[in-house]
Amino acid sequence: MKPRQIGLLFAIGAAFFFGFGNPFAKLAAQNANVFVTTFYISLIAGICFFLISLFRGSLKFLNSNDIWEYLKIGIIGFAIPQTLVMYAYTQTSAMNVLFLLRSEIFFATIFGAIIFREQISRMQIGGILIGFAGVFIFSTGLSFDSLNIADAIVFFSTIFWALYVVFAKNLLGKLDAITIGGMRYWAAIPFQFILAISQDPTLSYPIAQIPSLAIFSIATFVFGVILYNKAIEKLGVWKAVVPGQMLSIIFGAVATFIVLGETLTAVKIAGGGLIIAGTLIALGKK
């Protein structure tokens, strides 16, 4: 099998796990403190990556000169946005979160142009504008009176998810992709522990929701991230992002319908269509 075909299979696998985890994130977020929930997500993912790195013999740590980079990918690139998203899951539908998280691509494209001086074409600018229009329609139904603040929070969180791409890119020359993924959670754990224990010193979490928490954490932040990194290694960032982003919407929508019974209205389908179209255009050749 050719490397490109293998890379595509990795991307499809990543999209499946990203989408599959979506409804379980909604279930995991209910009836629990959002800081405690996010702490356990990073703890589960961090332990898994530690064991994987140990097994691979690739366990490495940054030196003291890189501690700021270490903290950025953990706090700005995971702890903050994941906490925002888990809160949003308690206030809006899992389907809304699924679609609105695609806005990450628009900000990643913008940051790439600003920070790395990557060229951005007029077509990509058009795709970003189309995508933002889709976000507005999807979130508001063309009326600000219908705006759900949780949807706005999801959209805001994608700025931080996009920044993670920027931070990780700066580390790729020093560490392999799996180690970077692990450090993302290892750096987040102490920060999230402090926040969680300040809200609930017992760190209590509903026992009945532990399976949903584990499924979401492992599917999304372990299997999904590993396969996505492998896809990037075989295909490159942009060729891996297209199937990863688009198919995750399809897998996620199916999983969310089956597990939670959520559906989309005609207006949301129209807005979601614009988000998808804008994403495809923004991911076009530079």
Q: How many CA atoms lie within 13 A of 33 on its CB side?
A: 17
Q: Give me the mean pLDDT over the 2-7 stretch.
A: 78
- The residues, any chain, with a CB within 8 Å of residue 44's CB and separated by 6 or more, are 213, 214, 217, 218, 221
Q: What pLDDT shows up at residue 62?
A: 60
CA diameter of the chain: 55
- Cα dihedral sign for 233, 239, 244, 247? negative
In the three-class reduction of DSSP (H, G, I as helix; E, B as strand; rest coil), residue 143 is classed as coil
Confidence of residue 112 (pLDDT cuts 50, 70, 90): confident
> How many beta carbons lie within 10 A of that of residue 119, not counting itself?
8
> How many beta carbons lie within 10 A of that of residue 68, not counting itself?
10
> How many beta carbons lie within 10 A of that of residue 244, not counting itself?
23
Confidence of residue 175 (pLDDT cuts 50, 70, 90): confident
What size, in residues, is the chain? 286
More confident residue, 285 or 173: 173
pLDDT in tens, 19-62: 999 999 999 999 999 999 999 999 999 999 989 888 877 666 66
Residue 209 is classified by DSSP as G
Residue 173 in this model has a pLDDT that exceeds 70: no
Confidence of residue 238 (pLDDT cuts 50, 70, 90): low
Confidence of residue 156 (pLDDT cuts 50, 70, 90): very high
Distance in angstroms (rounded) separating the CA atoms of residues 241 and 255: 20
More confident residue, 141 or 225: 225
Q: What pLDDT shows up at residue 180?
A: 78
pLDDT in tens, 68-109: 878 888 999 899 999 999 999 999 999 889 888 888 777 877
Residue 256 in this model has a pLDDT that exceeds 70: yes
Residue 116 in this model has a pLDDT that exceeds 70: no
Of all residues in the chain, the percent with pLDDT exceeding 70 is 87
Query: Contacts for 50-55 with beta carbons within 8 Å, 24 or more apart?
Result: 50/182, 50/186, 52/178, 52/182, 52/222, 52/226, 53/178, 53/179, 53/182
Q: How far is CA 281 from CA 127, 270, 277, in A?
A: 5, 17, 6
Distance in angstroms (rounded) separating the CA atoms of residues 7 and 234: 5
Q: What pLDDT shows up at residue 269?
A: 85
